[in-house]
């Protein structure tokens, strides 16, 4: 058993700090509170539900795994419509644009693991969807680690470094069923692990690109479909040093 350091992201009212500076100071990061203008796709009622989900849940502000800061959720900028029903963030996508739920500016320094978690489902559509993925910046598909479908219901674990790919065929999955996904990237680029419903599915140790990453999920590429992200915690991250 080794030591474990946990990077905890807390949504707090009225505070704003550079994540790494704050992390170095006290291992706690604060982000601005929800502001309607920051999440324009959500109605006032949806925002109230989201605030309740964050502040009324005592486990959300303590412990290890925290929700993504909500000011990073993107829906309308790429043509999607985002709503929240108290359990699911629902993103209705159109046949144009690349809407997704995601976050930017994730930077992990000298920590051994960056983990993304999301519980997702989606309406069927025999076209491309990226369920859970990391890129240095959005759209840098030459350096990518993630789970996606190319077409139909088949899906793939994909690791790309400098445009060289390792791809594992994962067969068929019914995406109308709620599915827990997790991607774990090791800072030393030794491997990336892909988990489904609490169990390891694939390990890649070739073509592992480097942190930092932007983390995103449920991106439909110019496809009309509805995708769902369970909230809380939504798309969440943890990063840790040492052994578990």
Length of the chain: 244
Regarding 187 and contact with another protein (CB under 8 A), the answer is no
Please report which helix (H) or strand (E) contains residue 47, including its range. helix 44-55
| Residue 120: CB minimum distance to another protein, A | 15
Cross-strand pairs, 69: none
Contacting another protein (CB under 8 A), which of 79, 191, 212, 230? 191
- List the x/- string, 192-221, binding to another protein by CB under 8 A: -x-x-xxxxxxxxxxx--------x--x-x
Short-list 170, 164, 168, CA closest to 144: 164
Query: Which residue in 7, 81, 14, 10 sits closest to 233, CA to CA?
Result: 10
Under rule CB under 8 A, residue 88 binds another protein: no
Contact 126, 151 (CB under 8 A): yes
Distance CA 200, CA 223 (A): 29
Decide if residue 29 touches another protein (CB under 8 A): no
Question: Contacting another protein (CB under 8 A), which of 106, 135, 175, 183?
Answer: 135
* Residues 6+ positions from 101 with CB-CB distance below 8 Å: 73, 74, 75, 82, 89, 91, 216, 217, 218, 229, 234, 235
Q: How many residues bind another protein (CB under 8 A)?
A: 44
174 binds another protein (CB under 8 A): no
Q: Which is nearer to another protein, 50 or 147 (CB)?
A: 147
166: contact with another protein by CB under 8 A: yes
Strands 28-31 and 8-11: parallel
Window 138 to 157, contacts with another protein (CB under 8 A): 138-142, 144, 150, 157
Interface with another protein, residue 160, by CB under 8 A: yes
Contact between residue 46 and residue 27 where contact means Cβ atoms under 8 Å apart: no
- Both tokens of residue 112? 């051994």
Token pair recorded at residue 195: 């988990």
Which of the ranges 6-14, 21-29, 105-113, 130-138 carries the binding residues for another protein, by CB under 8 A?
130-138
Residue pair 230/236 in contact (Cβ under 8 Å)? The answer is no
Interface residue with another protein, options 61, 167, 173, 187 (CB under 8 A):
167
- Of 31 and 234, CB closest to another protein: 234
28 binds another protein (CB under 8 A): no
Binding stretches for another protein (CB under 8 A): 98, 128, 130, 133, 135, 138-142, 144, 150, 157, 160, 163-170, 180, 182, 190-191, 193, 195, 197-207, 216, 219, 221-222, 244
């Amino acid at each position: 058993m080794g030591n474990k350091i946990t990077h905890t992201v807390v949504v707090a009212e009225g505070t704003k700090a550079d994540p790494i500076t704050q992390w170095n100071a006290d291992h706690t990061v604060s982000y601005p509170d929800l502001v309607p203008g920051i999440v324009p796709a959500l109605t006032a009622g949806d925002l109230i539900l989201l605030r309740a989900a964050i502040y009324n849940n005592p486990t959300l502000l303590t412990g290890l795994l925290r929700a993504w800061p909500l000011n990073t959720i993107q829906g309308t900028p790429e043509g999607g419509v985002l709503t929240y029903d108290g359990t699911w963030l629902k993103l209705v996508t159109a046949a144009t644009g690349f809407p997704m739920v995601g976050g930017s500016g994730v930077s992990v320094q000298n920590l051994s693991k960056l983990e993304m978690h999301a519980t997702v489902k989606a309406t069927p559509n025999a076209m491309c969807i990226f369920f859970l993925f990391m890129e240095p910046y959005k759209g840098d598909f030459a350096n990518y680690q993630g789970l996606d479908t190319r077409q139909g219901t088949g899906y793939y674990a994909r690791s790309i470094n400098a445009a060289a790919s390792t791809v594992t065929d994962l067969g068929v999955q019914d995406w109308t069923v709620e599915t827990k996904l997790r991607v774990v990237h090791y800072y030393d680029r030794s491997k990336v692990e892909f988990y489904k419903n609490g169990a390891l599915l694939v390990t890649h140790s070739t073509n592992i690109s480097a942190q930092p990453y932007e983390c995103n999920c449920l991106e439909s590429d110019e496809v009309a479909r509805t995708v769902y992200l369970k909230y809380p915690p939504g798309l969440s991250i943890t990063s840790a040093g040492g052994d578990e």
